[in-house]
Amino acid sequence: MDTPELLLLGGPNSGKTHYAGQLYGRLRRRPGVLELRKDQGTPLDLSALDEVFKCLEKGRAAGHTPTGTWSEILLPLVDKSGRCLDLRWPDYGGEQLESVFDQREISEKWRSRLVEADGWMILIRLESETTFDDALNQLVERPSDGTTPAVRPNTWDANAKWVELLQLLLHVSGTGNHQRLEKPKLAVLLSCYDEIKRPQDIPSNVLGEYLPLLSSFINSNWSSDSFSVWGLSSLGVPLTPDDSNDDFVDEGPEEQGWVILPEGGKQDEDLSKPIAWLLEV
Amino acid sequence: MGVLGAQNSGKTTLLTANYLQLLKGRKISDADFSGSRTLGAWESLAAHIRFEDSARTPSFPPHTPRGTSRVPGLLHLAMRNQNEEFRDILLADAPGEWFTRWSVKEDAPEAEGARWVVKHADAFIVMADCDRLSSPERGATRGETRELIERLGNHVGTRPVVFVWAKYDKKPPEKIEGAIRRALINSIPHAIEHQTTTNDPDTLLAALAQTVDLAWLPPSAKAVTAPVLSKQPFYSFRGHHGYS
C-alpha cells in the first residue's frame, strides 16, 4: 500500500474547497485515471466536505473555509493498474498560507508535511492576483514636485509574493535550488480557468503571461519533468452563494468542471489527472 | 558587484529598473531569474515606480540613506543560464556620498563602506550623471567623475568595469564627455561604456547584463611561481589565496 503525501497550497478564495468537493464527486461517481476503492466503501469521515457537497448539489457556490480549519479526508484510491493508494487530502483556510508569508513563520505541522510531501500542488487564481504596471519609461517626463517620495504601502506584486512563498517553503523543507529540483514535484493548477481571457493558450504560457517572474522562477528551478502547469475549472462556470445553477441541480455536480492538460488541447473532464501526474500513476 | 557613483547619479534606479524588467519575465544576459533573498527590498524600491493608487504618482526611487552602517545594503538575484550554470549575484547599493568622499580621501572614516565595496566586488558599474554633466554644475561634476574614475583605477586591477553614462536623454557637451573619456582610458582602459536612460528601460538592462556577463566566469588564476626563500620547502607556502 502506498500512502503518498500531497501538499495543497492555495490562498483564500483560490478554489481549494470546490476542487476537493468536485474531485470527490469524480472519484466516487465518474472515475477517470483514479477512483475510490470499492472494498473500502465511502470514506469514514466526509464532514470536511459536507458543506461543499450540499452547496454544489443545489448549484450554489460554497462558503469560505474558516481560517483556523485544518481537516483531512482519507481517500482510498486505486489506479487503472490496480495499484492502491491512500491519499490524505487536506482542507484548510487559505489565510494560513497568507500568514506564512506575512509572519515568515511556519508551524511544525506544516513543516513536517512539507518535508514528507512527494508533491506540492499550488492553486493560483490568476484573475484575482494583484500585479502592478510600472511607469519607468515615463519618469523623466513627469514633473517632479521636489518633495521626498511618500512612504509606500507595502503591497507586494503577486509575482514576488509567490516566489517568496515558494522560497520560504523550500527553505523550511530543507531544499536548496543550486541544482534543479526533482523533488518535490510541483503541479501548478491555474484555478477558475474559465475566467482566463485567452484559454486556448497552453497553461504554462498563460502563467508566463500573467505572472512572468513566478514562471521564470519555476522554469529555472525545477527540472522540466518535475513540474507541470494545468488549467483547472472545478465548476466550469462561476457559481454564486445565492442563485442556483440548473445544470448542477439537474445533471449533478459530477458532470461539471474540467482541466486543461499541460500540453493544452480541449477540456478534459477527469479532474483527478493532476493528482495522478503528481503521484506518477 | 559594486555600483559606484555620486549621490543621485541613478544607482538605485538602474538596479530597480532591472528588477522591474525581471518582473516582466525578461532575462539578464541569457540567464533566467531563479530567486532572490531580498525580494522585500526589491519590492519596496519598485513600489515607488508603480501606479498603485491615484494619490501617489510614480517617481524615481528615493535617495539611499547613509545610515550608520559600515557596509552597504546588498540586493540579491539568483540566476541560471542556458548552460545550467547557477550564480548568486549580490549588488551593492551604497549611498553616493560614500564614493564622493572616497574619491577625495581614500582613508576617510566616512568612506569605509566604499572601501568595503571596492575590496570585495568582482565587477563594477560606475555611473556618470549626464543630467549634471550638462547642467551649469558640469565643471564640478566632471571633476568629481574623473576623481572617482582615477581613484577606482588604483584599485580595480583586471576586474571588469562597465562605465554608464546615465540619464543620457541629457547629452553632455562634447568637451566634457571627451575629458571624462580620456580619464577613463588612462585609468581604467578595459572599461566598457554604456549609455542609459529610463526612457528606454532596455538600456538599463543592457548595462547590468554586460556586467553580469563579464563577471559570470571568475578570472583564471595566475600561475603561482614559488620563490625560493630557504632550503625548507614549506616556508614558501602561501595558502590558497596567494594570488590576491
Q: Cβ B34–A216 below 8 Å, yes or no?
A: yes
What is the interface size between A and B, counted as CB pairs within 8 Å?
A: 117
- Looking at residue A221, its amino acid is N
Q: Which residues pair with A90 in a beta bridge?
A: A72
pLDDT of residue A259: 93
Q: How far is B139 from chain A (nearest CA, A)?
A: 23
Q: Which residues pair with B33 in a beta bridge?
A: B79
Q: How far is A171 from chain B (nearest CA, A)?
A: 11
Q: Does B169 touch chain A (CB under 8 A)?
A: yes
Assess whether pLDDT exceeds 70 at residue A3: yes
The mean pLDDT of A1-18, rounded to a whole number, is 83
Assess whether pLDDT exceeds 50 at residue A251: yes
Q: Cβ A132–B22 below 8 Å, yes or no?
A: no
pLDDT of residue A153: 62
Assess whether pLDDT exceeds 70 at residue B234: no
Q: How far is B20 from chain A (nearest CA, A)?
A: 7
Q: Cβ B56–A156 below 8 Å, yes or no?
A: no
Q: Which residues pair with A86 in a beta bridge?
A: A76
Name which residue leads in pLDDT, B164 or A239. B164
Find chain A residues with C-beta within 8 A of B203's C-beta: none
Name which residue leads in pLDDT, A177 or B68. A177
Binned at pLDDT 50, 70 and 90, residue B228 comes out as low
Find chain A residues with C-beta within 8 A of B34's C-beta: 177, 216-217, 220-221
Q: Which of A54-58, A72-76, A121-125 has the largest mean confidence?
A: A121-125
Taking the C-alpha atoms of residue B222 and residue B122, their distance in angstroms, rounded to an integer, is 16
Burial of A127 by CB count in 10 Å (0-12 exposed, 13-18 middle, 19+ buried)?
middle
- Looking at residue A37, its amino acid is R
Could you tell me which chain B residue has the CA closest to the CA of A152?
A: B47
Q: What is the pTM of this model?
A: 0.89
Find chain A residues with C-beta within 8 A of B201's C-beta: 136-137
Could you tell me which chain A residue has the CA closest to the CA of B55?
A: A150
The mean pLDDT of A175-181, rounded to a whole number, is 90
Query: In the structure, how many helices (H) and strands (E) does chain A have?
Result: 9, 8
Q: How far is B41 from chain A (nearest CA, A)?
A: 11
Q: For residue range B63-82, what is the model confidence (pLDDT) as tens digits?
A: 777 665 667 889 999 999 99
Sheet containing strand A119-124, strands side by side: A6-10, A119-124, A185-190, A227-233, A258-260
Q: Cβ A213–B47 below 8 Å, yes or no?
A: no
* Range name among A218-227, B90-99, B176-185 with the lowest pLDDT average: B90-99
The mean pLDDT of A129-139, rounded to a whole number, is 82
Residue given cell 512563498 in the structure block: A165
Measured torsion, CA atoms of residues A248, A249, A250, A251, in degrees rounded to the nearest 10: 30
Assess whether pLDDT exceeds 60 at residue B242: no
* Range name among A83-97, A104-118, A146-160, A241-255 with the lowest pLDDT average: A146-160
The mean pLDDT of B12-25, rounded to a whole number, is 94
pLDDT of residue A216: 97
Concatenated DSSP letters of A70-118: EEEEEEEEEETT--EEEEEEEEE-THHHHHHHHHT---HHHHHHHHH-S
pLDDT of residue A187: 96
Is A220 in contact with B33 (CB distance < 8 Å)?
A: yes
Assess whether pLDDT exceeds 90 at residue B167: yes
Q: Does B226 touch chain A (CB under 8 A)?
A: no
**Ranges of H-type helices in A147-272:** 158-172, 203-210, 212-221, 246-251
pLDDT of residue A151: 61
Element containing residue B150 per DSSP (H, E) = helix B138-155
Q: Does B198 touch chain A (CB under 8 A)?
A: yes
> What is the residue-averaged pLDDT of chain A?
86
Taking the C-alpha atoms of residue A267 and residue A260, their distance in angstroms, rounded to an integer, is 5
ipTM of this complex: 0.89
Q: For residue range B78-96, what is the model confidence (pLDDT) as tens digits?
A: 999 999 999 999 999 888 9
Name which residue leads in pLDDT, A56 or A153. A56
Q: Which of A20-34, A61-75, B148-162 has the largest mean confidence?
A: B148-162
pLDDT of residue A152: 63
pLDDT of residue B244: 44
The mean pLDDT of A193-197, rounded to a whole number, is 88
Q: Cβ of A103: how many Cβ atoms within 10 Å?
A: 8
Binned at pLDDT 50, 70 and 90, residue A50 comes out as confident
Assess whether pLDDT exceeds 90 at residue A122: yes
Q: Cβ A136–B201 below 8 Å, yes or no?
A: yes
pLDDT of residue B157: 92
Binned at pLDDT 50, 70 and 90, residue B238 comes out as low
- Rg, chain B, Cα only: 19
* Range name among A13-22, A120-129, A226-235 with the lowest pLDDT average: A13-22
Cα B194 vs. chain centroid, distance in angstroms?
12
Q: Cβ B35–A138 below 8 Å, yes or no?
A: no
Q: Cβ A137–B199 below 8 Å, yes or no?
A: yes
As given in the structure block, the three cell numbers for residue A199 are 484559454
Residue A2 DSSP class: B
Is B116 in contact with B72 (CB distance < 8 Å)?
A: yes
Q: Cβ A221–B35 below 8 Å, yes or no?
A: yes
